[in-house]
Structures are given as structure tokens and as C-alpha cells.
């Protein structure tokens, strides 16, 4: 006779949902699958109350010892193992591979452990783990990974920053170099302009020198004065002699020294090895190149013109100071005073 259907009121041990499971078993283990999450689980069916066996109505009965089915037992390397891992602190059940009886286990430690079938003595091994600890480890590893990533990013950013800085420095250096080059070119240009200016100035000065003389022509006549002085004569250049003559020195017991002037320009000044004059004197108060005397024919007559080249040491003609750059047309007997030396110009 078929037993009546009984209803098992189940709360899923995986997802917590309530559902009803039907059985005709009077007692023992039944296996049910949660209609919501499909998790397999086993329940103990309690026998109906005594005396009410036949007319026990189909109804709810109390669940007891909900057990997770851990997984399939397989034979591996000569022993029975379950490859699915168990969580610690839980009850599991599985089927003995030898006698097909239910084996119930309780996990309270992590790592490998064995369960022995009470019926046939078969030993089944499985691994248990602590999900909380694993989650903690996982989170820790995730945290470390993120830290490493952040550090890596930071290092890369630092490298990029250094690279940027290096490039910036390079650009600045290049700019500085270009500016330096520009400055150098400008300096060179300035120097060339300066040189050009100097050359133009020199040219101008030379042109000025050959410009017609500005004459000082109100030179007074004075009495002859043959004061002696120290003197040296350098031989004048070999040109055509004129009738002009410079005399100096002489006194009561000696006749004056004299030198004939040549045509063209004759420079008179202090004796100096580096700026020699045509006629020079040892006279510290005379300029190195003090005056020049130009002898040139004018209207068929030789004309003599004295021009003051330097008047730091004053040049006096017949006692009158002639400024630098000015000229005097020499007449016979004129006294030319250069420093301490007095020369007399004579026509002979
Ligand atoms: Zn479920
Ligand atoms: Zn067994």
C-alpha cells in the first residue's frame, strides 16, 4: 500500500528561501534541491506520531539536521577523495563509495581531513577551508596588489616627471646656448662696427691732416734770442734741399747749430725711438711729434709752413702760442719755441 504524501517545510541552507518538499517516506534521509538556488541538501524525515500511522494526515513535519551534500566521492591515487572543498564550522553529507550509506561530517579545522564510514570503514578525504579567512586573505592580497599598482603608477609618474624635467632643462640649455650665440654674434657685429667706425675715424683724421692749413698770420716780430739748449739732430730724409734752415743753440763762444730743410714735410719733436721725428731734440718738455714744417713752392717761390701737431707742450712762434692743428707761414728769423728749445727759421 502506497504511503500518503507528506510535505516537508524547508528553509534552504544556501539561500535561506522557504519551499515545500514532498515525500512518501515515513522516516530516514531525503535529498531535496532548492527550487531557487538549486543547492542540494539532505533532511531527516521524522516518523509520524505513534498511533496515528494510518490516519496521519498529510502535513508538515519538522526538519532536522539539514546537511549539505559536499560533492561526489572519486577514487584518486588509490584513495577516496572529494575534490570540492568544505567550509569549516558546517555539517556536510556525502555517499559512501563502497556501501552507498550516508556519511555525515562536521568540519571544525582547516586543511585535509578524513571521514570514516561507520558501516564499512571506508575512508574519504576532503579539504576544509575558512571562507572568512580566505576572504580576508583575498582582500589583503587585493589591497597589496592595489598598493603595488599605485606604487608602480607613482614610479611611472615620477619617471615621466623626471623625463619632462630633463627635457625642460635641455630646452632651457638650448635656448641659453642660442641666446649666448646671438649675444656673441651681436658682440662680433658690434666689434666690427666699432672697427669700421675706428677705420672711418682714422680715414677722416688722415683726410683732416691733409686738409688745407688754417693759418695764424698775425705773428709779431721779435728780437733774436739765441738761448742754448740740449739738442740732437737726426739726419733729415734725403730729399731736395731748400733755402730754409733751422738754427739753434750758439752763444758767445760757439756758433749756432743749423740744419737745412728739405722739400716736403719735416717733422720736429722730442727724440723717441718709437715715434721718431725727422729732426729730434732731447727735451722732456717737447712733444714727441711737436710740429711739422711743409716746404713747397708757391708762385715759384719756396714757401714754408709750420703746423702744430701736438700742443700739450705749448708751441710758441715769436712768443705767441699756436694751438694744435693751426699753421703759421714762416718768415725768415721767426723764433719757434718747442719746450725748452728755441729754433730760429732762416732763409739762406
Ligand atoms: Zn536555495
Ligand atoms: Zn560505507
Q: Is residue 42 part of a domain?
A: yes
Q: How far is the CA of 124 from the centre of ligand 2 (A)?
A: 10
Q: Is residue 116 part of a domain?
A: yes
225 & 328 share domain: yes
In the prediction, which pLDDT does 197 show?
A: 93
Q: How far is the CA of 46 from the centre of ligand 2 (A)?
A: 23
Q: Is residue 64 part of a domain?
A: yes
Pick the last residue of a domain from 104, 133, 162: 133
Q: Is residue 209 part of a domain?
A: no
Q: How far is the CA of 94 from the centre of ligand 2 (A)?
A: 11
Q: How far is the CA of 103 from the centre of ligand 2 (A)?
A: 8
pLDDT higher than threshold 50 for residue 228 = no
**Which is higher by pLDDT, 231 or 178?**
178
Q: How far is the CA of 243 from the centre of ligand 2 (A)?
A: 161
Averaged over 239-263, what is the pLDDT? Answer: 86
Q: How far is the CA of 101 from the centre of ligand 2 (A)?
A: 5
Average pLDDT, the chain: 84
**Which is higher by pLDDT, 4 or 327?**
327
Q: Which range among 171-175, 177-181, 218-222 shows the weakest confidence by mean pLDDT?
A: 218-222
123 & 235 share domain: no
In the prediction, which pLDDT does 345 show?
A: 95
In the prediction, which pLDDT does 216 show?
A: 67
Ligand lying closest to the C-alpha of residue 99: 2
Q: How far is the CA of 122 from the centre of ligand 2 (A)?
A: 6
Q: Is residue 211 part of a domain?
A: no
Q: Is residue 169 part of a domain?
A: no
Pick the last residue of a domain from 116, 133, 150: 133
Q: How far is the CA of 2 from the centre of ligand 2 (A)?
A: 29
Q: How far is the CA of 108 from the centre of ligand 2 (A)?
A: 22
Q: Is residue 258 part of a domain?
A: yes
The three-state DSSP-derived secondary structure of the chain is CCCCCEEEEEECCCCCCEEEEEECCCCEEEEEECCCCCCEEEEEECCCCCCCCCCCCCCEECCCCCEEECCCEEEECCEEEECCCEECCCEEEEECCCCCCEEEEECCCCEEEEEECCCCCCEEEEEEECHHHHHHHHHHHHHHHHHHHHHHHHHHHHHHHHHHHHHHHHHHHHHHHHHHHHHHHHHHHHHHHHHHHHHHHHHHHHHHHCCCCEECCCCCCCCCCCCCCCCCCCCCCCCCEEEEEEEECCCCCCCCEEEEEECEEEEEEECCCCCCCCEEECCCCCCCCCEEEEEEEECCEEEEEEEECCCCCCEEECCEECCCCEEEECCCCCEEEECCEEEEEEEC
pLDDT tens column, 272-309: 888 888 899 999 899 999 999 999 988 888 999 999 99
Q: How far is the CA of 7 from the centre of ligand 1 (A)?
A: 17
CATH number reported for the structural domain that contains residue 329 in this entry? 2.60.200.20
Neighbours of ion ligand 1 (CB under 5 A): 12, 14-15, 34, 36-37, 39
The number of folded domains in the chain is: 2
Q: Which range among 165-174, 220-229, 232-241, 307-316 shows the weakest confidence by mean pLDDT?
A: 220-229
Domain interval for residue 250: 216-347
pLDDT higher than threshold 80 for residue 232 = no
pLDDT tens column, 96-130: 888 888 788 888 889 999 999 888 999 999 999 99
Q: How far is the CA of 74 from the centre of ligand 2 (A)?
A: 14
Q: How far is the CA of 69 from the centre of ligand 1 (A)?
A: 13
Q: Is residue 178 part of a domain?
A: no
Amino acid at each position: 500500500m502506497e504511503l500518503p504524501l507528506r510535505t516537508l517545510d524547508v528553509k534552504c541552507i544556501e539561500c535561506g528561501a522557504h519551499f515545500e518538499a514532498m515525500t512518501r517516506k515515513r522516516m530516514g534521509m531525503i535529498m531535496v534541491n532548492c527550487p531557487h538556488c538549486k543547492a542540494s541538501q539532505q533532511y531527516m524525515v521524522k516518523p509520524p506520531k505513534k498511533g496515528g500511522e494510518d490516519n496521519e494526515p498529510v502535513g508538515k513535519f519538522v526538519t532536522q539536521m539539514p546537511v549539505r551534500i559536499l560533492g561526489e566521492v572519486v577514487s584518486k591515487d588509490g584513495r577516496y577523495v572529494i575534490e570540492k572543498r568544505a567550509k569549516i564550522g558546517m555539517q556536510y553529507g556525502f555517499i559512501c563509495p563502497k556501501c552507498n550509506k550516508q556519511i555525515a561530517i562536521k568540519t571544525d579545522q582547516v586543511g585535509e581531513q578524513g571521514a570514516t564510514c561507520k558501516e564499512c570503514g571506508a575512508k574519504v578525504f576532503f579539504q576544509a577551508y575558512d571562507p572568512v579567512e580566505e576572504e580576508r586573505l583575498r582582500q589583503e592580497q587585493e589591497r597589496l596588489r592595489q598598493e603595488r599598482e599605485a606604487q608602480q603608477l607613482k614610479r611611472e609618474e615620477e619617471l615621466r616627471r623626471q623625463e619632462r624635467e630633463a627635457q625642460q632643462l635641455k630646452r632651457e640649455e638650448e635656448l641659453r646656448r642660442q641666446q649666448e650665440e646671438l649675444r656673441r654674434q651681436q658682440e662680433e657685429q658690434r666689434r666690427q662696427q666699432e672697427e669700421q667706425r675706428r677705420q672711418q675715424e682714422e680715414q677722416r683724421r688722415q683726410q683732416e691732416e691733409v686738409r688745407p692749413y688754417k693759418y695764424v698770420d698775425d705773428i709779431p716780430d721779435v728780437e733774436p734770442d739765441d738761448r742754448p739748449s740740449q739738442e740732437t739732430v737726426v739726419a733729415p730724409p734725403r730729399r731736395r734741399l731748400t733755402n730754409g734752415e733751422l738754427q739753434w743753440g750758439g752763444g758767445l763762444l760757439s756758433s749756432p747749430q743749423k740744419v737745412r730743410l728739405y722739400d716736403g714735410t719735416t717733422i720736429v719733436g722730442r727724440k723717441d725711438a718709437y715715434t721718431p721725428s725727422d729732426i729730434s731734440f732731447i727735451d722732456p718738455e717737447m712733444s714727441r711729434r711737436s710740429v711739422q714744417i711743409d716746404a713747397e713752392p708757391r708762385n715759384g717761390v719756396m714757401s714754408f709752413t709750420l703746423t702744430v701737431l701736438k700742443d700739450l707742450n705749448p708751441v710758441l712762434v715769436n712768443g705767441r702760442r699756436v694751438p694744435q692743428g693751426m699753421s703759421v707761414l714762416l718768415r725768415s728769423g721767426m723764433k719757434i719755441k718747442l719746450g725748452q728749445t728755441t729754433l730760429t727759421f732762416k732763409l739762406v
